Copies of this chain bind each other. A is one copy, B any other.
Amino acid sequence: MILERPKSLADVSTHFCPGCSHGIVHRLVSEVMDELQIEGRTVGICPVGCAVTSYNYFTCDMIEAAHGRAPAVATGVKRANPDKVVFTYQGDGDLAAIGTAETVHSATRGENITVIFINNTIYGMTGGQMAPTTLPGQVTQTTPYGRDPRYAGFPVRICEMVSTLSGCAYAERVAVDSPAHVKAAKKAIMKGFRNQLDGMGFSIIEILSTCPTNWGMTPSQAIERVRNEMIPYYPLGVYKDMTDKGGVFGDK
């Protein structure tokens, strides 16, 4: 047995900071594309955020979307090409703040796409401002005294929210803070793509991730934070699964 770089992950070095979870998730998505042999018919949609240049890393065809609009762009691609595999890869600012309407409506439409959602409780790329998912009390550039829900609002729990929507076929929250969790994350991502191949509807995998740079932590500390602070606030698990009911349209 050999564990090595998947084929669908381009042979280039990423610009991600040392210890950033984006890198792990990139590998997982690429492995899934390899294993399902879909790279050649997949179109990936990058967000605006630290993953903005993912088009350099994933070897499938890629489209860079405007901030928050990846699900709309994915919808355009998928509706025009129902036989292609379309996924978005989005951060929490992108998906849960500016892109809220696109997230909710692609979910409620049962858009047959796969959404990879990196929840790192921060705006990474712009230097560490509050994200919708920033934890209460968390210090960020725009919550310098710690996020106070009374003024800055409460964190949004995306899996919980989209699970209420009829078009959502599958919503699972995973983390990448340990090898076991990484493996579970891959299983979830695999399921998210398989669902699309099976026409199940909208699938979202929320991945609790690190941003050592903007958290002001070492990579190891950041992993600890995922485990000790994030997972308790964002419980892992499957929030919705319509796959044995034949998906959201119930006829598969």
Contacts and interface: CB of A to CB of B under 8 A. Distances in A.
Contacts of A132: 105, 108
Contacts of A248: 149, 154
> Which has the most chain B C-beta neighbours within 10 Å: A111, A152, A154, A166?
A154
A66 interface: no
State the copy count for this chain.
2
A98 to B, nearest CB: 7
Nearest to A248: B154
A142 to B, nearest CB: 14
Interface in A122-137: 132
A92 to B, nearest CB: 13
Interface string A152-171: 11111100110111110000
Given A132-B105, A160-B164, A150 B110 contact: yes
22 contacts: A97-B105, A99-B101, A100-B100, A100-B104, A104-B161, A105-B132, A105-B153, A105-B156, A108-B132, A108-B156, A110-B149, A110-B153, A149-B166, A153-B167, A154-B166, A154-B167, A154-B248, A157-B164, A157-B165, A157-B166, A160-B164, A161-B161
Interface of A: 97-101, 104-105, 108-111, 132, 149-150, 152-157, 160-161, 163-167, 248-249
Given A101-B101, A104-B104, A150-B249, 19 more contacts: A98-B101, A100-B100, A104-B156, A109-B153, A109-B154, A110-B150, A110-B153, A110-B154, A111-B153, A149-B249, A154-B165, A154-B166, A154-B248, A155-B166, A156-B165, A157-B164, A160-B164, A161-B161, A161-B165
